[in-house]
Amino acid sequence: MDQEIDIVKSIRQHLEIDSFLTGDFAVRGEGLVVEYMPQVPEQEAVSENLEQVQIKDTQKNSDTHMTKKDAITQLKELSSEIEKCRDCELGSSRVNAVVGEGSVSARIVFVGEAPGANEDKTGKPFVGRSGKLLTKIIEAMNLSREEVYICNTIKCRPPENRDPKPAEKQACRHFLAKQLEIIKPEVIVALGSHAAKSLLEVDKPIGQLRGKFHDFYAQQGAEPIKLMPTYHPSYLLRNYNYNSRKRVWEDMQAVLNELNLPVPTKNPTEK
């Protein structure tokens, strides 16, 4: 009997995830109260087949000393550097370094922890089921993958998807710092506990970190960037339920609010 219940539950969950991936991600939410958590700057916190970089016609980079052309050139140079990098042992086991992709003018950068098997194979960040779900989340925000930037804290896949070692994180962190320095996003979304803990250099569960903005310093003396931690799409796939989906959607609504972008409130597929 218990086994039958498990099978029914599993089938129901599978169907729900399928509809999740094909339907709208947004859930109807109540008014959000987003806490802001300023943090003391840690000195040097953290720290792309650039053909995929698409330039959006925004004023962001042209308002600063760096033009879009400069930013593209710098990202291309960084991309070549990463693709040749062998600064930690992951450099010898990877198939492809996964630099990242998206707009050099992105206002939002999504950061995961490290590439998985599909990413290693293709050289692209967030492909496969998790990537498809991330795309859904971005689209629910009325944005596209080409308007944001997507990358990881570590650029090469740890074998068997093991956790990156501290030395590997240390060796790689300057690459993300440089990407953020070039792109100058207004908000970083840290996807999952590992990325959030690594970026913020804290050891707290994602449930305590998410739902509020933290200050992130790409390097010592840099201006802080607002960072919103949220659940990783692969966690959502494993724990698909209304509450986890709603929490991620609330986090994304807070990001849109922060950027003064319209917050979609309707979900035609929601019951």
Binding site for ligand SF4 (CB under 6 A): 82, 85-88, 90-91, 97, 154-156, 168, 171-172
The minimum distance between CB 11 and ligand SF4, in angstroms, equals 39
What is the rounded distance in angstroms from the CA atom of residue 233 to the CA atom of residue 191? 7
Whether 154 and 171 have beta carbons less than 8 Å apart is answered as no
Smallest gap, in angstroms, from Cβ of residue 48 to ligand SF4? 12
Closer Cβ to ligand SF4, 85 or 95, answer by number:
85
Structure tokens belonging to residue 263: 């917050």
Let me know: does 148 contact 103? Beta carbons within 8 Å. Answer: yes
Of 88 and 206, the one with the shorter C-beta distance to ligand SF4 is: 88
Strands (E), 169-211: 187-191
Q: Are 211 and 35 in contact (CB under 8 A)?
A: yes
| Contact present, 234 and 130 (Cβ < 8 Å) | yes
Decide whether 145 or 155 has the Cβ nearer to ligand SF4: 155
In the complex, what is the shortest distance from the CB of residue 160 to ligand SF4, in angstroms, rounded to a whole number? 15
Which residue sits closest to ligand SF4, CB atoms considered? 91
Nearer to ligand SF4, 115 or 211 (CB): 115
Q: How far is the CB of 179 from ligand SF4 (least distance, A)?
A: 12
Tokens matching residue 29: 């939410």
